[in-house]
Structure 1
Amino acid sequence: MSELTFDAVVVGGGIVGCSAAFFLAREGWKVAVVERDSLACGTSSKSFAWINGTSKTADENYHRLNARGLAAYCELAVEFGEEALGLNPSGTLNVVQKSDAANYAATQEQARQLAAYDYPAAWVDIHALRRMEPHMTLPDDAEALFAMADHCLDAPKFVRFMASQVQALGGTVLEDCAAQSLVAQDDGQVTGLETDQGTLKTRHVVVAAGPGTAEVLSMLTGYDAFATRFPLHQVPGLLVRTPNLLPHRRIRHVVYSSISPEIHMLPDFNGGLKIGSDETDGMVTVDSTPDQLHNVASILLDRAKDLLPGFPDRDCLDECTITLGIRPYPKDGHSLAGPLPGAKGLYVIATHSGITLAPALGGLMTELIATGQTPDMLKPFTLDRIEGF
């Protein structure tokens, strides 16, 4: 590949990187996406893919950033259609029992907080809940917080769509292309990116490498300490995706059930279910063996059977897909997005809930790069809030 020139280069072909590239391209920038493997091959394809602001109520700024992500998806759906994007406006049911006093009180407080933020949600009783999910077996004292604006996403489809739009807008998507190092002037101004396919000349590089962010920054800058100092945890999450199921074995909404044992499920785009649990995530590590993952997946299928009597439980495990996604969790729990302090033209986006936040952070980062000014919504999440940066 001969030397090419771009207004901006995005390192990372997942949902965050391709969303950032899309919004930059819409501003008329000539953009390249550099992905060392294939698009959406990492965390994006192994995510529960629940778009919401429902679960983020403790901090108002962070809630509103997530709500902005949901709103951005809705705006894209008006323009391109839900089918093209892989969106399902399913809504979420957060199911809890009145007899579980602690969880019931916490969920009601969550509902009050969402109302204070003007986030669309309502409380539903057992009668409404059974109408909404007729195939679920629920105790008589079950109720739910219904977040009707939430969506779920076919994330790989969305990533591919964003990448196709980047190309349609004159950008370039380079798969199987590994970023190697930055080219910079003595004053720290980025002037290019070295890859294993050649040099890309640019004055703006956005690193959106998910759980690999620290390692990528270390490699690009030559500063080894990034690999250990960058404030990001790698947190594994196991999911089971079932094959297509008969209608009486399915659900209609994203369901988070705190009825013991805890489980969350959503209607997958293949006609099956996607199933996970915060509890079972604690049973796996990045080094779990296939047999260990298989055993935890069996637990998830048994839990699904408890809620859906028609579900075939672990009998269908051989037909299921088991994935272990490595999620990037900033150490303080909130997104890291903005310029890398001390560098000129180098930007970072690293966050959990990348599925929800991708279009919001992509749009806000585009505004920052294009204007040189940090948008107000992004200010609480820039890297200079972290000690050592």
Structure 2
Amino acid sequence: MHVVVIGAGVIGLSVATELARRGASVTVVEQEAPGVGTSATSFAWVNANNKEPRDYYELNLAGLEAHHRLARDADGGWLVAGGHLEIATELAHRDELGQRVTRLRNLGYDVELISPARARQLAPDLIIPVDAGPIAYFAREAHCYPQLYLGFLLATAADLGVQVIGGARVTSFHLDSDQPAVRLADGAVIGGDQFVSCVGRWTETLLARADVTLPMATFERAGDATVGYLAVTNPLPLSLARLITTSRLNVRPDGAGRLLLQALDLDSTADPRDVPTTDSGLAGEFLNRLTSVLRNTGAAAITQLRVGQRAIPADGRTVAGPLPSAPRLYVVATHSGVTLAPLLGTLVAEEILGAPQPLLAAFRPDRLLDGAVRHRPLPARRPGQQ
């Protein structure tokens, strides 16, 4: 079987490598270069922490465990399995965190409430306000360096004989002929037995070229749910080996002493067409918040300020499955791309090769194809959410 995978982010390359492991001939086509889309602008928190409803939680939990297995078996440096500390300092966050911990414990999720002393053992430079509420420790959670994961996938793909073609934009599908194929912008035609769309936030645009409407949440105005700031600091002399979330700032290591910062309430001005400079008031606010969360950050500077754009199906839930009107075209689209990438690579490969996967049964594209869901407003994100 020859499979053409469209999109070379973490999902597309995970699918491609798992198909190749199972004996398929695989070609990956990418409109730009591997990993320059959504994969490059993710906070990359690997978790099932605030994922609802139950079937989405179960999918993300399986994704978290798939990351751990793959990183262990491949000795992967992309996954930092240091866990996650969450501190609530605002009243609404305290109440929400307490309720969430109870719910997750009832589900058997690995979470415990810990003392300030224990929190300082886990993060020696953490500043804990005297009036802080509950402190939760999610020991199994992790964070990922997406570019390192992509590097592993590209090396694996090369070893398995996967052909990766960059600068290849798909302009049309020809799926009903005796020789199914996609046509590229340069006029080239690539044939295959099966085609897999893994293009993230470009899913709706791509599928329109196959006369299919599958709605994705699209950027409409500054601060909507599809966009968010990420700030990168200079290297700093501090002790931090795990992800920290608070009521006002999320922070994780970003390699070589750098930190990656996220503050969901600041996203209200995020606009990919107008990214503030690294010496802007916004950058200054990130730094002010950082110094209130971690010691030894007085010399911090923002070296990069990005606006990430999220891939979110219109109802907020993962899409994975073949299109009823074009069964040769399998579609994958999800907000939880980094968490789910290794798992979806395996599950999608198995389905394409003929073995249905129960974990994906609730996430078929059919639910979005009948016009019932058209860019439904997404719920506001809560403290501790990605």
> Under a length normalisation based on structure 2, what TM-score does the superposition of the two structures give?
0.88
Task: Give the distance between the partners of 1:359 and 1:333, measured in 2 at CA.
Answer: 20
Q: Which runs of 5+ in 1 are unaligned?
A: 1-5
1: CA distance, partners of 2:286 / 2:36 = 24
- 1:1-389 equivalences under 5 Å are 7-56=2-51, 58-83=52-77, 86-97=78-89, 100-142=90-132, 143-185=134-176, 191-195=180-184, 196=186, 198-219=188-209, 221=210, 223=211, 226=213, 230-234=215-219, 235-247=226-238, 250-258=239-247, 262-291=248-277, 294-312=280-298, 316-317=301-302, 320-371=303-354, 373-386=355-368, 388=370
In the TM superposition, residue 197 of structure 1 has moved relative to its aligned partner by 6.6
Q: Aligned pair in 2 of structure 1 residues 190, 276: CA closer, same or farther (>3 Å)?
A: farther
Question: How far is the alpha carbon of 1:292 from its aligned partner?
Answer: 9.5
> Which segment is superposed worse, 290-299 or 193-202?
290-299
User: Post-superposition shift, 1:137?
Assistant: 1.7
Contact residue 43 and residue 326 of structure 1 kept, 8 A: yes
Q: CA deviation at 1:167?
A: 1.9
Give SS of 1:281's match: helix
Q: Is the 8 A contact 1:126 1:141 kept in 2?
A: no
CA contact (8 A) 2:320 2:363 kept: yes
- SS of the equivalent of 2:269 reads coil
Map Cα deviations across residues 241-266 of structure 1 (whole Å, 9 max, x no partner).
1122112xx522211101xxx11000
- CA contact 1:95–1:145 (8 Å) conserved in 2: yes
Match of 1:25, SS? Answer: helix
SS of 1:348's partner is strand
Percent identical: 28
Which segments of 5 or more consecutive residues in structure 2 lack a partner in the other structure?
220-225, 372-386
Instruction: Return the letter of the residue paired with 1:62.
Output: Y
What code does the residue aligned with 1:93 have? L
Instruction: Tell me the alpha carbon deviations over residues 151-184 of structure 1, each in whole angstroms, 9 at most, x when there is no partner.
Output: 1111011112112212211211111222222122
Residues 325 and 68 from structure 1, CA distance in 2 versus in 1: closer, same or farther, beyond 3 angstroms? same
User: Which is richer in helix?
Assistant: 1
Counterpart of 1:236 in structure 2: which amino acid?
A: V
Corresponding residue number in structure 2 for 1:3: none
CA–CA separation in structure 2 for the residues paired with 1:242 and 1:278: 17
Displacement of 1:306: 1.5
Q: Give 1:147 deviation, angstroms.
A: 0.6
Deviation, 1:146, is 0.6
Q: Which stretches of structure 1, 4 residues or longer, exceed 6 Å deviation after superposition?
A: none
Any conservation in 2 of the 1:72–1:359 contact (CA below 8 Å)?
Answer: yes
Structure 2: which amino acid aligns with 1:342?
Answer: S
Q: 1:60 to 1:163 in 2, by over 3 A?
A: same
**2: CA distance, partners of 1:316 / 1:205:** 45
- Aligned residue type for 2:359: M
Could you say if the C-alpha distance between residues 292 and 155 of structure 1 is closer, same or farther in structure 2, counting changes exceeding 3 Å?
Answer: closer
- Matched positions, count: 363
Task: Please tell me whether the aligned partners of residues 94 and 145 of structure 1 are also in contact (alpha carbons under 8 angstroms).
Answer: yes
Query: Secondary structure in 2 aligned to 1:232?
Result: coil
Could you give the per-residue CA deviations for residues 335-381 of structure 1, whole angstroms, max 9, x where no partner exists?
0111122112101111102010111222111121111x531110111
Displacement after TM superposition at 1:190 (Å): 7.3
- 1:30-79 deviation line (CA, Å, top 9, x unaligned): 111111111111111111011111121x3111011011111111111222
Which sits farther off after the overlay, 284-293 or 135-144? 284-293
Partner SS state of residue 130, structure 2:
coil
The CA distance in 2 between the partners of 1:155 and 1:323, in whole Å, is 15
Distance 2:100 2:200 in 1: 29
* Paired residues of 1:214 and 1:232 also in contact (CA < 8 A): no
Letter in 2 for 1:65: L
SS of structure 2 residue aligned to 1:231: coil
